[in-house]
Amino acid sequence: MEDKELEKLRRRKLLELKRFLEKKKAEKQVNAREYRKIDPQDVLKNYFIGRAWEVMKAARAQYPEAARYVEKALAKMIVDGRIREKITGEELYWLFYRLGLKVKLRTRIRILEDGKVKSIHEKIRETLPGSGNLSGFRR
C-alpha cells in the first residue's frame, strides 16, 4: 500500500511541477509580447540623467544599428529589474566605449565671468586688438 501511495504522491508532484513550468513559460511569452510593445525611449526617459540623451543622440547619428541595439538592451534590463539606478551620460559613454564604439561628442568651452556665461568665441572676440582690451592674454 505504501508503494501505491508513494507513486500517487510522486505523480501529483510531477503534475504540479509540469503545471508550474507551463505557467512560467506562458508568463514568459506574455512578457515577451508586452516587451515588444514597449517603446525603449519611454523606459529610458525615466532612467537617463545628465548628458545621457546627448550621448545617445550622438551614438544614433554615428552608429545607428548599435545604438538601437543598446537602447533596446538597456530598456529590457530596466524592465526586467536588472538595472535599478539612473544612467548618466558618462556611464552611457563608457558603455559605448567598452563596446568599441568611440562616440564623438560636441565639445563646448564656456566661461563664467561677472555672473554671465560666455562662449570661448565671445571671450576671444572681446579681447582682440580692435577692442583695446588685451589684459586677459599674455604673449
94-108 residue pLDDT tens: 999 999 999 999 888
**Is 7's pLDDT higher than 80?**
yes
CA pair distance 114, 9, nearest whole angstrom: 83
**Is 132's pLDDT higher than 60?**
no
Looking at the chain, the number of H-run helices and the number of E-run strands are 6, 2
Give Dmax (Cα) for the chain: 109
Question: What is the amino acid identity at position 77?
Answer: M
Average the pLDDT over 3-29 and give the result. Answer: 87
CA pair distance 52, 38, nearest whole angstrom: 20
CA pair distance 66, 18, nearest whole angstrom: 39
**Is 139's pLDDT higher than 80?**
no
**Is 36's pLDDT higher than 70?**
no
- How high is the mean pLDDT of the chain? 87
